[in-house]
Structure 1
């Protein structure tokens, strides 16, 4: 243990749970190399194909974009007539979409990805964070659901979400679904339910394909919203390099199928490991597992001091989220750290 324990009360405006460089700086005496379990990103990324010189040397043309969008529609199970827009990272769409609408009441199913509430508040909307679908107000024009939810992996019956979308449409509202973690199990996706009026669905390319640094996402939904978003983005919002890589990855059916199977297996292995150490499992997706523990801040710090970075949530004390280790060495290192934590906890109990 470090000679002097640091305070884990972090400045929310400065702290982002997935910022490995922050951890490396704050825990500078930790033994490296760092094992980053803080993100819900596939640790076995899609292999970068050879990139044409043209992708680097000139602006992307309409043909490249249309090829990528067609591949994305097929991968996500959207109809040919569905409206789709590519964005340079889903985060940007989360920030832009609230500014496309007049100020209204927005209900957000929480706890979830905090940037949704922050973005709608910054755009001047009245935001309510609710804990279940039954709490949705009749005054709410927009409802935000992350599905599967981040950080707990919670999902809902598709029929309930479809009914909610229809109810909101009847009062000129909109259901917005963030499906950043749905690509490992498309059975929970509502892309096939998209109509002229909704829902609006956000997709992240980087998580499933393990290429978050490419900064690419997609929005599918009502034509007016998609057109407004595309106009707000302006031309060449997505790079030609991103388009070329994504078009190949989205069409690689063999890699996609094998990766879905391997991620599901790894997620089950992670849940089993955490249960063996007595953790209270809140939920999981195929890319992460979330636990609740009274001493979450202490465990977070214990792991960081050993160069293992998981995801904590300053606004949700007690929650820790673990991404998937990659190599067998990573699994063994993580297991050894949990063994050390358990022994230390047992020693304290016996004192």
Structure 2
């Protein structure tokens, strides 16, 4: 099994090195909305009872309307990480792992758990830098759109053409839209019914700022969703999470997008004022490229501010959004103290 991947977060560990109470740190290492929405009322029975089918159905219908998936009812899952780890099982069905064509393609660099899940299951992983490099030899292809961590975007036309190539070779296309809520026009959710070999993953917690719920949705044809549901087992998603999803996915999210845009502007102003060069990003995070990235990372940690560094790209730092103007000023002051 490959070594665990270091993700964003992990304040407890870094505070043990640089000091301070974890709750006093400014965590900019994730791509999560730092202004969580107010929780809707949760019926007491959602806490008291195992999640009944009607709770699942209500969440699925709300997700269908929110994501615009037509007749396809998205499947609630306990975080999209749970179904990422099921993908090797999905394509291994009926064929021994280790066959000549057990190769998958992951447009990279990107979220590292895709390559890790397939490699751990015995698949060869081609880390390609462009969808054009994906060929008939690949049984499954993964595209994160918008991409994490550089924010690269692939047009719907490009992804539909890739799907058609994959389908012609009896392969599957996975499009991870974890950061797609801030720009719904990028989503392929409305096309899933006609694109039968397409699987879409959507994150719930990033946009709504409720990552602790561990909730996501898979959107695909019914037989694929049925397999995921079977493999996850009964009651995979808690009743409170389903209840919250049904309420928030039916709400007007205009103010959430506006708040994210405001926080994104504050972050960009802070980074620009520090003379840092933006190399990409989405509305929920900004990627900075700087030869001094390692020193900047350590300097910010000494000021109890955590950003995301990358072992495969030592010149990169990813900055998540600050929650308010006071946090903007805290970041600006820390960056101003950095010795250039």
TM-score, reference length from structure 2: 0.93
Does 2:304 match 1:307? yes
- 1-side partners of 2:197 and 2:152: how far apart? 22
3-state SS of 1:129 partner: strand
Return the match for 2:275 from 259, 273, 278: 278
CA gap 1:121/1:52 in 2 versus in 1, 3 angstroms: same
Deviations 1:57-115 (A, max 9, x none): 11111111100100011111110x21421111111111112222124211101110111
Does 2:85 match 1:85? no
- 2-side partners of 1:32 and 1:336: how far apart? 20
Deviations 1:203-261 (A, max 9, x none): 110000100000100000122211111110111100001111111111111xx111112
> Which residues of 2 match residues 332-351 of structure 1 at below 5 A?
332-341=329-338, 344-345=339-340
Deviations 1:261-316 (A, max 9, x none): 22123223322432332222111111000011112111111001101011111232
* RMSD, aligned CA: 1.8
- 1-side partners of 2:65 and 2:199: how far apart? 17
Return the match for 1:146 from 144, 147, 167: 144
CA displacement at 1:29 relative to structure 2? 5.3
CA gap 1:68/1:13 in 2 versus in 1, 3 angstroms: closer
Question: Unpaired runs of 5+ in structure 1?
Answer: 1-11, 346-351
- 1-side partners of 2:121 and 2:4: how far apart? 18
Aligned residue number for residue 34 of structure 1: 25
Does 2:316 match 1:319? yes
Aligned residue number for residue 129 of structure 1: 127
- 2-side partners of 1:161 and 1:18: how far apart? 31
Question: Unpaired runs of 5+ in structure 2?
Answer: none
Aligned residue number for residue 250 of structure 2: 251
> Which residues of 2 match residues 34-183 of structure 1 at below 5 A?
34-79=25-70, 81-102=71-92, 103=97, 104-183=102-181
**Would you say the 8 A contact 2:266–2:328 is kept in 1?**
no
CA gap 1:78/1:31 in 2 versus in 1, 3 angstroms: closer
Aligned residue number for residue 7 of structure 1: none
Aligned residue number for residue 5 of structure 1: none
3-state SS of 1:101 partner: helix
- 2-side partners of 1:205 and 1:32: how far apart? 24
- 1-side partners of 2:300 and 2:21: how far apart? 9
- 2-side partners of 1:313 and 1:111: how far apart? 10
Deviations 1:159-186 (A, max 9, x none): 0001101110111111101110001110
**Would you say the 8 A contact 2:12–2:22 is kept in 1?**
no
Deviations 1:133-162 (A, max 9, x none): 222233112110111000011101110001
- 2-side partners of 1:285 and 1:292: how far apart? 15
CA gap 1:249/1:275 in 2 versus in 1, 3 angstroms: same
Aligned residue number for residue 8 of structure 1: none
- 2-side partners of 1:98 and 1:13: how far apart? 18
- 1-side partners of 2:118 and 2:216: how far apart? 19
**Would you say the 8 A contact 1:106–1:128 is kept in 2?**
yes
CA displacement at 1:14 relative to structure 2? 7.2
Query: How many correspondences in the alignment?
Result: 330
